[in-house]
Structure 1
Amino acid sequence: MTAIRVLSYNVRYASRDDHHDAWHDRRDAVGRLVRFHRPDVAAFQEPLPEQRSDLRERLPGYEFVGRGRNPGGDGEGCPIAVRTDRWKVVDDDTFWLSETPAEPSSDWDAAHPRIATWARVRVAPDDGDDARTDGGNPRQELLVVNTHFDHVSARARRESARLLRERLPKLADGATGESNPPLPVVLVGDFNCTSGSEPHRILLGDDPEADPKDPTGDDRLALHGAAENAVLRHGPKTSLTDFVHLIDGRRIDHALVSAGVDVEAFATLTDRDDRGRYPSDHLPILARLDV
């Protein structure tokens, strides 16, 4: 099996109203946090273009993929950063959480356009090795998906979950061909809902509006929560802060994995910066996985 460490982090957009928690006072701490924990994949939510540039500068060992949610590619994004010494990005794209996912759009009463960015990653070869095989065997590949659900509309969160349930199996199958098993999937992000809520249950395959006569049904992609299924769990049961205190009972940042992905450990990281403050209004989550 191949070990991979996946981090998900809502870094908060650069707001002029954050005063002493403005991005320029937080960006170094965010970069140091990621470099210290050294995830293989880091998925970020909310960064604006200038923030994405700052993250690239502070994480030179990572390849970034993804775009902003607005028509020109600006606006908030859900970029995925991949450690180039361990993994290679094979393919990537972004789609919108709407009824027209191939184009910039917003539906279901969402306050803002919402997106999901995905990357298909493969274990990087050693120098001189074949890029696709390891000793004649195919190199491990993985589909990583990063998203951010709407914070206002409950309907948008439900429909976004249903859209992901529909599209992820196609992405996992399309990468391998009909004769091969689908790629293992890791879905991370800020879902703006807690475990057990309706959107979270829909992602896990428990959709109260699903047609029981549909032969494709919810078996298209079996997902389970990394936090709930980890052998070792560490950190608080929330992922929200006010930069100084934890906000109890609000774990809205999640990692879900498909069948065949073992969750060795799941942590909610409480690192503070050198001022004693959290570098964001969200805590990052880190899953140690075997695929």
Structure 2
Amino acid sequence: MTRIRVLSYNVRYANRGDHHDAWHDRRDAVGRLVRFHRPDVVAFQEPLPEQRRDLRDRLPAYEFVGRGRAADGDGEGCPIGARTDRWQIVDDGTFWLSETPAEPSIGWDAAHPRIATWARVRAASDAEGGSELLVVNAHFDHVSARARRASARLIRDRLPALAASRPDPERSGTDATTDDGDARRPVAFVGDLNCTPGSDPHRILLGDDPAGEGNGAGLTDDTDGRDDALHLRDAAAVADLCHGPETSLTDFARLIDGRRIDHAFVSTDVDVEAFATLADRDERGRYPSDHLPIISQLAL
């Protein structure tokens, strides 16, 4: 059995209007929080290019992949990092949460382009038996309910192929992979989904499409009973041990009750030993972001 700890954290984009909670006053605390909890994999939402550089500088033990959501690679990103002493990233890519996921685009009624970054990580130690995990990291739109529903359907549609793929040596780092026919890899899907448990996008990810609208992207929905459907579970709901607040949203000073909008989902072949929402404060007594990080200890 291989254990892997996956942390997901919306670090809040660098907004000059945040005043004393501006990024340059928070970045060291974000780095310290991650280093203290020592996850094997980190998945961030919202960092701009300069923030991604700051995170790499403060987390040298991690290899990062992922690009920004803009056509030129700038803009907010959903980077994934793996601790190189335990895991190596063997393939990765990014797709857009839209009707045209292979190209930079804004989907449905979303206020901004939205992306999902994925990475296949493999245990670096032979003692772990070459265990692998597909990690997918996304940030759903904060305005459009339709975009959140369609994004959830798109994620569910794409997960089976990504979990069954191997690196294409000529197209590594893109969204293109080749199917080697191997058994499907276990999956962890994390991110800021801007929805609470029981909402439509949350239910869709669990395989219950309340509207029955299809996936909205011109692709085949994988919730229709096909043999290749990949079933997900909410890590917070199935964990053997849960810890921390039931919300994941803050105003930097206080928790905002009833707003668990940061989530972790796992495929059914992954055991969730523990799930926690981390309410660490910085040396100022403030939260380092307007979101709390979530961490899952998984057994493969």
TM-score (norm 2): 0.90
- What's the offset of the Cα at 1:150? 0.0
1:39 to partner: Cα distance:
0.2
The aligned amino acid for 2:244 is: G
CA distance in 1, matches of 2:222, 2:112: 34
Name structure 2 gaps, 5 residues minimum. 167-177, 215-220
User: For residues 4-19 of structure 1, what are the structure 2 equivalents within 5 Å?
Assistant: 4-19=4-19
Verify: 1:204 aligned to 2:206, yes or no: yes
In the alignment, does 2:290 pair up with 1:281? Answer: yes
Aligned pairs (5 A) from 1:62-77: 62-77=62-77
Matched position secondary structure for 2:164: helix
The 5 A counterparts of 1:53-68 are 53-68=53-68
Can you list the C-alpha shifts for 1:49-77, whole angstroms capped at 9, x where unaligned? 00000000000000000000000000000
Secondary structure at the aligned position of 1:13 is classed as coil
Please tell me the root mean square deviation across aligned C-alpha atoms, in Å. Answer: 1.6
C-alpha distance in structure 1 between counterparts of 2:213 and 2:131, whole Å: 33
What is the match of residue 192 of structure 2?
Answer: 190
Q: Is 1:217 matched with 2:208?
A: no
Are the aligned partners of 1:187 and 1:256 in contact in 2 as well (CA < 8 Å)? yes
Q: Distance in 2 between matches of 1:118 and 1:55?
A: 18
Does the 8 Å contact 1:88/1:122 carry over to 2?
yes
CA distance in 2, matches of 1:222, 1:15: 37
8 A contact 1:210–1:217 mirrored in 2: no
Pairwise CA distance, 1:107: 1.7
Amino acid at match of 2:262: D
TM-score by length of structure 1 reads 0.93
Question: Relative to structure 1, is the Cα distance of residues 218 and 144 closer, same or farther in structure 2, using a 3 angstrom cutoff?
Answer: farther
Cα distance 1:177–1:103, how it changes in 2: closer, same or farther (>3 A)? closer
For 1:76, what is the secondary structure of its paired residue? Answer: coil
Answer yes or no: is 1:95 the counterpart of 2:95. yes
Moved more, 102-111 or 171-180: 171-180
Q: 1:258 to 1:210 in 2, by over 3 A?
A: farther
Q: Which moves more between the two structures, 175-184 or 45-54?
A: 175-184
CA separation of 1:105 and 1:264: change in aligned 2, threshold 3 A: same
Cα deviation digits, residues 168-206 of structure 1 (max 9, x gap): 111112239564320000000000000110001001110
Is the Cα contact below 8 Å between 2:49 and 2:76 reproduced in 1? yes
Deviations along 1:4-37, one digit per CA (max 9) or x if unpaired, are 0000000000001000000000000000000000
Using the TM superposition, give the Cα deviation of residue 242 of structure 1 relative to its aligned residue in structure 2, in angstroms: 0.3
What is the distance in 2 between the residues matched to 1:215 and 1:150?
A: 22
Distance 1:105 1:210, change over 3 A: closer
**Which of 157, 163, 171 in structure 1 is aligned with 2:162?**
171
Q: Partner of 2:175 in structure 1?
A: none
Q: After superposition, where does 1:250-289 map in structure 2 within 5 Å?
A: 250-289=259-298
Does structure 1 retain, via aligned residues, the 8 Å contact 2:271–2:299?
yes
How far 1:217 moved relative to its partner?
1.8
What percentage of aligned pairs have identical amino acids?
A: 74
Of 235, 238, 246, which aligns to 1:237? 246
- Kept after mapping to 1: 8 A contact 2:164/2:181: no
Aligned residue pairs: how many? 280
Q: 1:36-55 CA distances to partner (integer Å, 9 max, x unpaired)? A: 00000000000000000000
Q: Which amino acid aligns with 2:196?
A: T
Question: Contact 1:206–1:218 (CA<8 Å) still a contact in 2?
Answer: no
- Rounded Cα–Cα distance in structure 2 between residues aligned with 1:6 and 1:224: 15
The 2-side partners of 1:177 and 1:13 are apart by 36
Structure 2 counterpart SS, 1:217 = coil
In structure 2, the residue matched to 1:128 is none
Partner Cα distance (1:55, 1:218) in 2? 41
Residue in 2 that maps onto 1:2: 2
1:131 — aligned with what?
A: none
Q: 2:123·2:129 contact (CA, 8 Å) conserved in 1?
A: no
